[in-house]
Copies of this chain bind each other. A is one copy, B any other.
């Protein structure tokens, strides 16, 4: 497989997409203080991050707004209260789940919105609905992405069909998403190669969203990058569901483009992440996540195990193992 870029060079097509609020919101039900979000916005600008994802555009019909912080819904006005007219180089992204977004009412013309990119999250069996959403958002003027979740559960033939379908749509970016953190670098390279073929054929960009169940989120991200993947999801201190994501501080440490700066991220961690951890918010690599990742399972059991402060790892492993039998 041909490699793109060397360790001392940099590719201007690389984009860091900060998902701290969106994936980290799955840890605290999106209850971030405004100060946290405003400081993160300023941090991303200073550190050269390319996109900041504010959260989900979740349906207010389906979800009780009193049970979640505002970033599960990402009203345009709430984003504007943080970014004003966003007269910066940082672009704004939101995620919309297939079947969980009232996109025809909640996603307005881009001309009137602070949002730049809509990323549609879909499982492989709902790709046609994802494409419908993407066509709608594209017509409204947004950059779009389709994130095929849990790709480690898909078989090659279905994935090939899905990628062809997506390739022919108007979507701009297609994402490799290792939802369960179960993929090894070798598998990521194989997937990257497959996605990049579609990208070449249909003029798309490829992204990666990794999870850290096996301490491979960073490694998988830079391996995908080396193959030619250009949209790189990361979160500050890996904050995200379960084992969390590729850490922005690791990624910026690796990237050679002088536009990226590590210091602002370190300051943000001191000020905002250290207190969150002290308050008992739990995320990041731990044995239970290794076990669900290794078994290619959803992390929900591991999240519960961790939140209950259990340490009977062997019992838990056999419980998970038996589920697959």
CB distance A253 to B294 under 8 Å? yes
Q: Which chain B residues border A186 with CB–CB below 8 Å?
A: 7, 226
CB distance B317 to A266 under 8 Å? yes
Q: Which chain B residues border A114 with CB–CB below 8 Å?
A: none
CB distance A274 to B311 under 8 Å? yes
CB distance A290 to B215 under 8 Å? no
| Interface check A218, CB cutoff 8 A | yes
Alpha-carbon distance A311/B269, docked complex (angstroms): 9
Instruction: Report the copy number of this chain in the oligomer.
Output: 2
| Interface check A223, CB cutoff 8 A | yes
**Which of B212, B215, B287 is within 8 Å of A269, CB to CB?**
B287
**Which of B215, B219, B237, B270 is within 8 Å of A185, CB to CB?**
B219
CB distance A290 to B253 under 8 Å? yes
Q: Which chain B residues border A266 with CB–CB below 8 Å?
A: 287, 313-314, 317
Alpha-carbon distance A153/B215, docked complex (angstroms): 25
**Which of B263, B285, B290 is within 8 Å of A314, CB to CB?**
B263
CB distance B313 to A184 under 8 Å? no
Chain A 202-244, CB-CB to B under 8 Å as 1, else 0, gives 0000000000101111111011001000000000010000000
Q: Which chain B residues border A274 with CB–CB below 8 Å?
A: 311
The prevalent SS among residues of A at the interface is helix
Interface centre among A184, A187, A217 (most CB of B within 10 A): A184
**Which of B7, B219, B262, B318 is within 8 Å of A215, CB to CB?**
B219
| Interface check A36, CB cutoff 8 A | no
CB distance B222 to A185 under 8 Å? yes
Chain A 246-261, CB-CB to B under 8 Å as 1, else 0, gives 0101100110000000
Q: Which chain B residues border A311 with CB–CB below 8 Å?
A: 269-270, 274
A273 to chain B, nearest CB (A): 9
| Interface check A267, CB cutoff 8 A | yes
| Interface check A279, CB cutoff 8 A | no
Q: Which chain B residues border A294 with CB–CB below 8 Å?
A: 253
Alpha-carbon distance A123/B270, docked complex (angstroms): 36
Q: Which chain B residues border A219 with CB–CB below 8 Å?
A: 185, 215-216, 218-220
Contacts A215-B250, A267-B314 supplied; 17 other A-B pairs, CB < 8 Å = A7-B187, A185-B219, A186-B226, A212-B215, A214-B218, A214-B250, A214-B253, A215-B215, A215-B217, A215-B219, A218-B219, A249-B290, A263-B318, A266-B314, A267-B313, A270-B312, A270-B314
5 contacts between A and B (CB under 8 A): A184-B254, A185-B223, A215-B247, A218-B219, A267-B314
The 5 A-B residue pairs with the shortest CB-CB distance in the complex, in nearest-first order: A219-B219, A266-B313, A266-B314, A253-B294, A274-B311
